[in-house]
Structure 1
């Protein structure tokens, strides 16, 4: 009797595993942010930002300040040995002010870039989700993961490029 129960259990387990193996889950990955930022619209918007006069002036200002700080640091290293304590403190204070100016300029540049990205996300995210849903239906996918969550995904399993193509075509 025990052999019969054991054999039946083995057969049932085999049938269950065979059924599970034949019903494969279709899985894919996508990086929606990368897809949005790779579109022609995003590239054009970022290029327009970087060539705008306000951005260019701010970037030139930051570069100029960075060069001044570097020159001040080189001067301090070269001549600092001969300076009085007051002169050293004064030069350090000037350098700190310049560094602060540089950091402020960089923060403004990053804020401008961040705003442009946020505007793109707001505009293109609904379109990207719609395009992704169409791809999911066409490919009859059961599961779509964020690409950053995947350890490995073959080229056929990554929907990012296809999403970029669809977003570019939709305009």
Structure 2
């Protein structure tokens, strides 16, 4: 009798266990790596490059001023030295603020690109989920471990490129 009950319990337990199909994806990377993502991010990349060039130019100017101040330190009056050192400190503060503002602008530009591409990306991901009959898709950054076969980022990039 115990064997029959155990067999029935085992059959019921096996029937209740379902395999869960899980995949991971880096949605942001897939959007940006796709052809449409590369095209959409051309103009923002140019803006960031221009901002970076401006920042480097300002940095070179400040470095030249610092070298001049160091060179002239012994020949300047104490008041003039303090005045130039204060001016240099203000320039450095403006440069830091400029760099921070440029980083913020670069992030905003990237967010705008991602937002504009998200609907197409979601549609491609949905079709991929349906095709592979996935039960769960997790953002790759949130997973501790994922088998390489579970990562569908490259497949999503291909799907986005095909849809273009």
Cα RMSD (Å) of the superposition? 3.3
For 1:68, the equivalent position in structure 2 comes to 61
- Identify which of 19, 38, 62 aligns with 1:24: 19
Q: How does 1:133-152 map to 2 (within 5 A)?
A: 133-152=126-145
Partner Cα distance (1:87, 1:34) in 2:
53
Q: Are 1:50 and 2:45 matched, yes or no?
A: yes
For 2:149, the equivalent position in structure 1 comes to 156
Unaligned runs of 5+ in 2: none
**1:71 Cα deviation from its structure 2 partner:** 2.7
Q: How does 1:99-110 map to 2 (within 5 A)?
A: 99-110=92-103
Partner Cα distance (1:44, 1:159) in 2:
22
Relative to the length of structure 1, the TM-score reads: 0.74
- Identify which of 73, 94, 98 aligns with 2:91: 98
For 2:159, the equivalent position in structure 1 comes to 166
Q: How many residues align?
A: 163
8 A Cα contact 2:25 2:140, kept in partner = yes
8 A Cα contact 1:45 1:116, kept in partner = no
Partner Cα distance (2:12, 2:66) in 1:
70
How far does the alpha carbon of each residue in 1:4-45 deviate from its partner, in whole angstroms, 9 at most, with x for none?
8xx68x937972796279632111011111111111222233
Aligned to 1:153, the other structure's residue is in SS state coil
Q: Are 1:37 and 2:37 matched, yes or no?
A: no
8 A Cα contact 1:62 1:105, kept in partner = yes
